[in-house]
Structure 1
Amino acid sequence: MASRHSAYLRNGLRTAALALVIATTLAACKGGAGPAEAQAQTKSSEVEAIPVEVVEAARRPIAASYAGTAALEPRAESQVVAKTSGVALAVLVEEGQQVKAGQPLLRLDPDRARLSVAQAEAQMRKLENNYKRAQQLVAQQLISAGEVDQMRYDLENARATYNMTRLELSYTTVEAPISGVVASRSIKPGNFVQINTPILRIVDDSRLEATLNVPERELATMKAGLPVLMQVDALPGRAFQGVVDRVAPVVDAGSGTFRVIAAFDGGGALQPGMFGRIRIDYDQRPDALVVPRVALLDDGDPAMFVIRDGKASRVPVKVGYADGEWIEVREGIKPGEQVVTAGKVALREGSAVQVITAANGKQADKAVAGTGAAATGAGQ
């Protein structure tokens, strides 16, 4: 019994000693990990530099302009119609052909009209002879003056009828009312043409016009003679010069706009019906301080991030004219200052930045996108 009791005592002492060793080891391990954990927390709390792209504010010419879209229209257009009926014997022009005013376009069968002219002429000649004889007889007092007057009226009526038949005969040859190009033809030789039926369409493409509906706030800036620049979708990469031809100074009450008509030289690459983007320059500033338009922030009043001492500073600005991708800055920044053009979504006031050149633009975009996503998630 005594030996068995001693064995139990020895086992209990060993268990207690082992527990003491384990507790001591755990305490030592916990105490040793404290400085490393603090160091990791310190590193994670450090603010990483945000990659951005920048452009220096510089001086260059800039223009104040109004931009809009419109379709080109011919200055003159004519829908040619037949003024008499008949069978088309010959069509003298084709689509796309240039014609001059008065040029024959179509010939109709003239036989019926010629017979009418001959009949009217014979009647007129008969009345002319009767009137001459009546003048001799009235001098001899063989007929009354009233009978002579009636003969004169009949003769004038016959002459009018004769002239009318000659006019009808002339209508059998259809002539071009204006100079231009044949835009469409809806008649073929042998077709029967009804009176007042459209048969051809002629457009004067020597001068083309584009009509813009401009907001009434621009009424004071639009003047005749202003230069106009136009680009058309059908001719990419090309620009065409024009001029403001006239301004309608009446504002439409319904739309709040007025009409500005720009004119361009035709007869070349420009054609009626083309759709174009039009810019009218109404003022020029030869030495304006400009930055890319993408530098502007989209959160309220005009502002942009400027790099100062390696950090981003949000600066309110006063902007002026906008010209394409550039915008004028009249107050807020100085020439040579760097404004952020890419990466600004992740910036805050005082953020440390890392300037990435434009050559690494794709890498910068990826880095900025990742940083921006992280900033968005943190904000939530």
Structure 2
Amino acid sequence: MRKYFFVGLALVLVLALMVIAYGAYLNDRGESQITLRMEERRVELVGVKADRRELHPLIKFSAVNLYANRVADAVALTEGRIIEAYAAVNGYVHKGDLLFRLENDNIALSIQEAEAGILSAEAELARATNNFDRYSKLRMAEAASPQQYDEAKAAYVAAQGKLKAAVAKRDMLLVNKARCEVRSPIDGTVRIIYRQPGTYVPSGTSLALIGNYNEMYFSHQVSDNRVQRLQQGQEAEFVFPGKEFKNLENMAGESAPDQVFHAVLMEISPPLSEPGAARTLLWKLDNPLGLLTPQTYGTAYLRLGVRADALCVPLSAMTDKTRQAVFVYRDGQLERKAVTTGRDDGEYIEVLSGLEPGEIVIISGTDHLQDGMKANVTLRGEQDGR
């Protein structure tokens, strides 16, 4: 019996070993097949050839703060009540034009008092003059004492001084009266009127804002590597969305078309000849129709001059926000290549180095691609015709 028991046990062990070996064989075969399938797997992608083209470099701003170089307030130089306003918003004025007229009853009364004071001082001077002349003659005839002569002379000099003081007081009041007329300090357009007729204003109150808005200015900071190919005097275009101009909406409330303004790069600070990690650019915008005003606009685009014959690829070919790599399709596989990029126009970006014309770059699904992956690539424009 023991013999049969050990024979059966041996058979069971042999069968168990055979099952284990067969399972290992199947597992290894399955992994090999999966690996083979993964190696043969190809992702379907869309690509485009790097090509030379004209490029209009575009810089987008989320906020543009425009200002005018020549802006001044028309200020009340004396207190008073505004009785007339001759200025109108958006009206053009010349330096010295009358904008407001003030009324100050105290000045008028003070002028009357000063005029009366002048008359009194003139009468007093006349009496002192006659008295001094009389004592001068008497003194020459030795009919008056030196003391009497000196007293008459002193009274004459004092009367002269009193008259001069009265005239000076009257003249100062006349100056204040003239200040009741508020005039434009510069040539320009009236942008804001701060006070209306009937308002009493103290001295020093700003009544209107006037500026020359034919030229507007805007400055922004950029990194040094983004500005190296710009130069002072370079021309460009500032494009503002039509929605920024509510006054140009049509009767149906539809936004105006985008407004384009000629611009010139006035200054690069610090200059390119000096080292610096960042530089400030100052742009001048031509504004002949006065559509732009000193304020912050929500969105604007700076379109630089045409850069001809630039090697470009779509922005969608960039693998991340740094714009320093693309996936190139070659011999059925993907290759991640480092590139140096320049400016873009919102759709295409300039490639300064790292690519050759005609190389196919991937423009779809770049987030999950890896170097060496196999792929089937269809050139953009051909997928619709397949």
> d(CA) in 1 for partners of 2:174 and 2:69?
33
Aligned to 1:334: 356
Shift of 1:133: 8.1
Residue from 96, 101, 108 that aligns with 2:90: 96
Instruction: Say whether the 8 Å CA contact 2:189–2:211 is kept in structure 1.
Output: yes
Contact 2:96-2:184 at 8 Å conserved across structures? yes
CA shift digits 1:13-59 (9 cap, x unpaired): xxxxxxxxxxxxxxxxxxxxxxxx99xx7996683543222222112
- What stretches of structure 2 of length at least 5 have no aligned partner? 1-28, 138-148, 246-256, 272-276
In structure 1, the residue matched to 2:206 is: 198
Match of 1:168 in 2: 176
User: Structure 1 residue 75: deviation in Å?
Assistant: 2.2
Closer, same or farther in 2 for the Cα pair 1:108/1:321, shift >3 Å?
Answer: same
- 1:85 offset after TM fit, Å? 2.4
Q: Go from structure 1 to structure 2 and tell me whether the alpha carbon gap of 1:241 and 1:299 turns closer, same or farther (over 3 Å shift).
A: closer
Amino acid at match of 2:333: A
1:171 CA drift (Å): 1.7
Q: How does 1:222-237 map to 2 (within 5 A)?
A: 224-233=232-241, 234=244, 237=258
Shift, 1:360, TM fit: 5.0
Residue matched to 2:71: 77
2:50 equivalent in structure 1: 57
Superposed counterparts of 1:253-264, under 5 Å: 259-264=280-285
Shift of 1:123: 3.7
Conserved in 2, the CA contact under 8 Å of 1:289 and 1:328?
yes
Map 1:281-300 → 2, pairs under 5 A: 286-298=308-320
- Cα distance, 1:156 vs structure 2: 3.9
1:185 to 184, 190, 193: 193
Please state how far the C-alpha of 1:104 moved relative to its aligned partner.
1.7
* Alpha-carbon distance change, 247 to 193 in structure 1, aligned in 2, over 3 angstroms: same
Q: Cα distance, 1:140 vs. partner?
A: 7.9
Other-structure match for 1:277 = 300
- Distance in 1, Cα, partners of 2:290 & 2:321: 47
TM norm structure 2: 0.65
Distance 1:300 1:119 in 2: 79
Residue equivalent to 1:211: 219
Alignment of 1:102-117 (within 5 A): 102-109=96-103, 111-117=105-111
In the TM superposition, residue 295 of structure 1 has moved relative to its aligned partner by: 1.3
TM-score (norm 1): 0.66
Please point out which of 227, 243, 257 is paired with 2:264.
243
* SS class of match (1:335): coil
Q: CA deviation at 1:134?
A: 6.7
Q: 1:243 Cα shift?
A: 1.6
More displaced stretch, 292-301 vs 126-135: 126-135
Separation in structure 2 between the aligned mates of residue 121 and residue 163 of structure 1, nearest angstrom: 10
Q: What one-letter code is carried by the residue in structure 2 that aligns with 1:55?
A: V
Match of 2:80 in 1: 86
Unaligned runs of 5+ in 1: 1-36, 251-255, 365-380
1:355 to partner: Cα distance: 0.5
Answer whether contact 2:342 2:352 (CA < 8 A) is retained. no
**Distance of 2:323 and 2:266 partners within structure 1:** 37
Amino acid at match of 2:281: V
The percent of aligned pairs where both chains have the same amino acid is: 23
Match of residue 343 from structure 2: 322
Instruction: Supply the distance in 2 between the matched residues of 1:260 and 1:134 (Cα, whole angstroms).
Output: 73
* Counterpart residue identity of residue 188, structure 2: G
Question: What RMSD over aligned residues (CA atoms) do the two structures have, in Å?
Answer: 4.3
Aligned partners of 2:322, 2:103: CA distance in 1, in Å?
75
Q: d(CA) in 2 for partners of 1:299 and 1:123?
A: 82
For residues 268 and 354 of structure 2, what CA distance do their matches in structure 1 show? 37
Residue deviations 1:307-353 (CA, integer Å, cap 9, x gap):
334x1331424314122233333443321222111133346515131
Match of 1:313 among 331, 334, 339: 334
More displaced stretch, 124-133 vs 194-203: 124-133
Give 3-state SS (helix, strand or coil) of 2:168's partner: helix
Q: Match for 2:176: what amino acid?
A: E
| Conservation of the 8 A alpha-carbon contact between 1:214 and 1:257 | yes
CA contact (8 A) 1:47 1:352 kept: no
1:156-211, Cα deviation, whole Å (9 max, x unpaired): 43333222111111122222223333333343333333333333333432221113
The secondary structure found in structure 1 opposite 2:40 is: coil
What residue in structure 1 maps to residue 249 of structure 2?
none
Q: Which residue of 2 aligns with 1:8?
A: none
Q: For residue 201 of structure 2, what is the amino acid of its counterpart?
A: V
Which has the larger displacement, 239-248 or 220-229? Answer: 220-229
Given that residues 232 and 274 in structure 1 are in contact (C-alpha distance below 8 angstroms), is that contact kept between their aligned partners in structure 2?
Answer: no
Change (3 A) 1:335 1:247: closer
| Contact in 1 for aligned 2:336/2:371 (Cα 8 Å) | no
Cα distance change on mapping 1:105 and 1:300 into 2, 3 Å: closer
Measure, in 1, the Cα distance between the counterparts of 2:279 and 2:154: 65
Work out the CA distance in 1 between the residues paired with 2:65 and 2:383. 41
Q: 1:241 & 1:148 partners in 2: Cα distance?
A: 72
